[in-house]
């Protein structure tokens, strides 16, 4: 699948019925998230990578989740919350290209349902709600290396601090 250009896209908005329609800017951000869990210690951490107009925001976050699936949902929600804080009121005109290597997160967002994680799906969908459009794409781990590396670094830091 071809990558979508993450630069701001200028489009005509149907805000007026005259030929002189207002022109608005739709912001496009790419969001990559990944979680890392150490089952023996019960520690989890996440990596969040936000890209817009060739600028990156890299975040390493500790997670409360004790399992990898739960951690993937948690870091995805946190990614959208951080992006919402970053974008602010412009969220309503922002398109998010969300990339995850978690099949359960991808499938659950598509269906708006997960048998054992429905509360987490609902919280993730609520975190996505401020944005005009969210396009979710499952990617193999090798295409999610930025977030993967951040998650592993955060997990290592949590293990050292423990």
State the pLDDT at residue 5.
42
Any domain includes 1: no
Q: Which domain holds residue 110?
A: 9-161
State the pLDDT at residue 136.
98
Q: pTM for the complete prediction?
A: 0.85
State the pLDDT at residue 16.
37
Any domain includes 2: no
Largest Cα separation within the chain, whole Å, is 64
State the pLDDT at residue 159.
85
Any domain includes 87: yes
Number of structural domains found in the chain: 1
State the pLDDT at residue 160.
85
* pLDDT tens series, the chain, 162 aa: 344 443 333 333 333 343 334 456 789 999 999 999 999 999 999 999 999 999 999 999 999 999 999 999 999 999 999 999 999 999 999 999 999 999 999 999 999 999 999 999 999 999 999 999 999 999 999 999 999 999 999 999 988 887
CATH of the domain at 122: 3.30.420.10
Residues 6+ apart with CB under 8 A from 136: 98, 100, 106, 109, 110
Closest to 74 (Cα-Cα) out of 29, 119, 116, 113: 119
């Amino acid at each position: 699948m071809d990558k979508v250009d993450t630069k701001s896209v200028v489009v005509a908005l149907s805000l007026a019925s005259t030929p002189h329609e207002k022109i608005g800017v739709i912001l496009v951000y790419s969001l990559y998230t990944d979680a890392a869990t150490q089952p023996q210690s019960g520690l989890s951490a996440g990596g969040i990578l936000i890209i817009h107009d060739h600028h990156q925001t890299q975040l390493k976050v500790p997670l409360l989740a004790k399992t990898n699936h739960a951690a993937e949902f948690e870091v995805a929600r946190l990614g959208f919350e951080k992006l919402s804080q970053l974008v602010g009121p412009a969220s309503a005109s922002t398109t998010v290209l969300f990339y995850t290597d978690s099949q359960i997160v991808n499938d659950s967002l598509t269906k708006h349902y997960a048998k054992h994680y429905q509360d987490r799906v609902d919280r993730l969908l609520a975190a996505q709600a401020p944005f005009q459009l969210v396009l979710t794409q499952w990617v193999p781990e090798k295409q999610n290396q930025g977030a993967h590396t951040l998650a592993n670094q955060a997990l290592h830091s949590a293990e050292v601090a423990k």
